[in-house]
Amino acid sequence: MSYSDEFTIGGRALKSRLFIGTGKYGNDSMIPQIAESSGSEVITVALRRVDFSNAKGNVMQQIPKHMQILPNTSGARSADEAVRLARLARASGVGDWIKIEVISDTRHLLPDGYETAKATEILAKEGFVVLPYMNPDLYVARDLVNAGAAAVMPLGAPIGSNRGLATREMIGILLEEIELPIIVDAGIGKPSQACEAMEMGAAACLVNTAIATAGDPVRMGAAFGEAVRAGRNAYLAGLGRVLGKGAEASSPEEGTLTGFLK
Amino acid sequence: MYTPLEDGFAAELKRIESLNVKAIAENATEDDVRAALGRTFLREEDFPVLLSPAARPFLEVIARRAQDETMRNFGRGIQLFTPLYLANFCTNRCVYCGFSTKRDIKRRMLNLDEVEAEAKAIAATGLRKILALTGDDPKRTGAAYLAGCIRVLAGYFSSVGIEVPSMTVEEYAMQVAAGADSMTMFQETYNHARYLDLHPGGPKRDFYFRLDAPERALMGGFRAVNLGPLLGLTDWREDMAAVAAHARWLMRKYPEAEISISLPRMRPHTEGGEVAFVPEDITDAILVQAMVALRCYLPQAGITLSTREPAWLRDRLLPLGVTRVSAGVCTAVGGHDPDVSKATEESGEDKPQFDISDGRSVDEMSSDLLRLGYQPVFSDWLLGGSGASELTGGVAEALRTA
Looking at chain B, the whole-number percentage of residues with pLDDT higher than 90 is: 63
User: Is B59 a member of any domain?
Assistant: yes
Q: What are phi and psi of A206, to 5 degrees?
A: -110, 125
> Measured between alpha carbons, how far is B76 from B97 in angstroms, rounded to an integer?
34
What's the pLDDT at A128?
Answer: 96
> Whole domain around residue A115: which residue ranges?
7-240
pLDDT of residue A115: 96
> What b/e sequence results for A67-77 when a residue is b if at least 16 CB atoms lie within 10 Å of its CB, and e otherwise?
bbbbbbbbbbb
Predicted ipTM of the assembly:
0.72
- Quick check: is A136 in a domain? yes
Mean pLDDT within B126-146: 92
Determine the 3-state secondary structure of A38 from DSSP. Answer: helix
Q: Is residue B71 part of a domain?
A: yes
pLDDT at B281: 86
Name the residue with higher pLDDT: A56 or B163: B163
Task: Confirm if B374 and B75 have CB atoms less than 8 A apart.
Answer: no
Contact A55 B158 (CB under 8 A): no
Amino acid B192: pLDDT: 95
Pairs across A and B, CB distance < 8 A: 114
Phi-psi region of A20 (alpha: psi -120 to 50; beta: other; left: phi over 0): beta
B349 is a domain residue: yes
Best B76, B182, B399 member to test A by mutation, with max A CBs in 10 Å, is B76
A258 lies in some domain: no
In a domain, A176, yes or no: yes
Beta carbons of A31 and A44 less than 8 angstroms apart: no
Among A25, A30, A58, A106, most B C-beta atoms within 10 A, so best to mutate, is: A106
Cβ within 8 Å, pair B77-A77: no
Give the mean model confidence (pLDDT) for residues B107-132. 92
CATH of the domain at B342: 3.20.20.70
- Considering the domain boundaries, does residue B309 fall inside one? yes
**Between A148 and A55, where is the model more confident?**
A148
Residue A211, pLDDT above cutoff 70: yes
Asked if residue B4 is part of any domain, the answer here is no
What distance in Å separates the CA atoms of residue A68 and residue A66, rounded to the nearest whole number?
Answer: 7
Nearest-by-Cβ selection for B256 from A23, A27, A105: A105
- The pLDDT score that the predictor gives to residue B385 is 63
- Gap between the Cα atoms of B59 and B18, Å rounded: 27
Q: What is the pLDDT of residue B78?
A: 93
Task: Report which DSSP code applies to A244.
Answer: -
**Interval A35-54 mean pLDDT:** 86
Domain-located, residue B397:
yes
Interface of B with A in 347-386 (CB under 8 A): 366, 370, 373-383
Per the structure, the count of domains in chain A is 1
C-alpha torsion sign, points B170, B172, B176, B181: negative
Compute the nearest-CA separation of A183 from chain B (Å).
Answer: 21
**Is the pLDDT assigned to residue B249 strictly greater than 80?**
yes
Nearest CA-CA distance, residue B289 and chain A, Å: 22
Please check whether residue B332 is in contact with residue B350, taking contact to mean a CB–CB distance below 8 angstroms.
yes
| Residue A36 pLDDT | 94
| Average pLDDT value over all residues in chain B | 89
Asked if the model's pLDDT at residue A55 lies above 70, the reply is no
| Cα separation, B64 vs B58, whole angstroms | 10
In this prediction, residue B119 has a pLDDT band, given cuts at 50, 70 and 90, of very high
pLDDT at site B154: 92
For the CA atoms of chain B, what is the radius of gyration?
A: 20
Number of domains in chain B: 1
A28 with B126: Cβ contact below 8 A: no
Report for A16-20, B122-126, B343-347: range of highest mean pLDDT: A16-20
Residues from A contacting B (CB-CB < 8 Å) are 23-28, 47-53, 55-56, 75, 77, 81, 84-85, 87-88, 90-93, 104-107, 109, 160-162, 209, 212-213
Residue A199 pLDDT class (50, 70, 90 cuts) = very high
A-chain residues near B365 (CB < 8 A): none
Q: Average pLDDT for residues A196-222, to the nearest whole number?
A: 93
- Helix pair angle (B393-401, A79-91), 10° resolution: 170
pLDDT at B275: 63
| Inter-chain CB proximity B300 and A209 less than 8 Å | no
Q: Mean pLDDT of all residues in chain A?
A: 88
Q: Is residue A248 part of a domain?
A: no
Q: Compute the distance between CA of residue B357 and CA of residue A34 in angstroms, rounded to an integer.
A: 38
Residue B401 pLDDT greater than 80, yes or no: no
Question: Is A244 in contact with A55 (CB distance < 8 Å)?
Answer: no
Cross-chain Cβ contact B395/A52 below 8 Å: yes
Q: Is residue B67 part of a domain?
A: yes
pLDDT for position B233: 92
Sign of the torsion formed by the C-alpha atoms of B389, B377, B367 and A44: negative
Domain of residue B111: give its range.
9-401
Residue A1 pLDDT exceeds 60: no
Q: pLDDT-derived band of residue A73, with 50, 70 and 90 as boundaries?
A: very high
Residue B59 is predicted with a pLDDT of: 93
With helix as H, strand as E and coil as C, how does chain B read?
Answer: CCCCCCCCHHHHHHHHHHCCHHHHHHHCCHHHHHHHHCCCCCCCCHHHHHCCHHHHHHHHHHHHHHHHHHHHHHCCEEEEEEEEECECCCCCCCCCCCCCCCCCCCCCECCHHHHHHHHHHHHCCCCCEEEEECCCCHHHHCHHHHHHHHHHHCCCCCEEEEECCCCCHHHHHHHHHHCCCEEEEEEECCCHHHHHHHCCCCHHHCHHHHHCHHHHHHHCCCCEEEEEECECCCCHHHHHHHHHHHHHHHHHHCCCCEEEEECCECCCEEECCEEEECCCCCCHHHHHHHHHHHHHHCCCCEEEECCCCCHHHHHHHHHHCCCEEECCCCCCCCCCCHHHHHHHHHHCCCCCCCCCCCCCCHHHHHHHHHHCCCEEECCCCCCCCCCCCCCCHHHHHHHHHC
Q: Please, which pLDDT band fits residue B272 given cuts at 50, 70 and 90?
A: low
Query: Which of A128-137, A241-250, B194-203, B275-284 has the weakest average pLDDT?
Result: A241-250
**Smallest Cβ distance to A88: which of B73, B258, B398?**
B398
Lowest mean pLDDT among A47-61, B30-44, B65-79, B361-375: A47-61
Q: Is B181's pLDDT higher than 90? A: yes
Inter-residue contact A38 to A18 (CB < 8 Å)? yes
Confidence of residue B350 (pLDDT cuts 50, 70, 90): low
Contact at CB, A53 and B387, closer than 8 angstroms: yes
In a domain, B74, yes or no: yes
pLDDT at A253 over 80: no
A232: distance to nearest CA of chain B, Å? Answer: 27
The pLDDT assigned to B148 comes to: 96
Contact A106 B378 (CB under 8 A): no
The alpha carbon of A127 is separated from its chain's Cα centroid by a whole number of angstroms, namely 21
The CATH code of the domain that includes A152 is 3.20.20.70
Rounded Cα distance, B219 and B121, in Å: 33
* Predicted local distance difference test score (pLDDT) of residue B393: 64
- Chain A residues in contact with B125 by the CB 8 A cut-off are 55
CA-angle at A96, arms to A92 and A102, nearest 5° = 90
pLDDT at A2: 55
Neighbouring residues of B335: CB distance < 8 A, sequence distance ≥ 6: B85, B341, B344
- Looking at per-residue pLDDT, the higher value among B276 and B133 belongs to B133
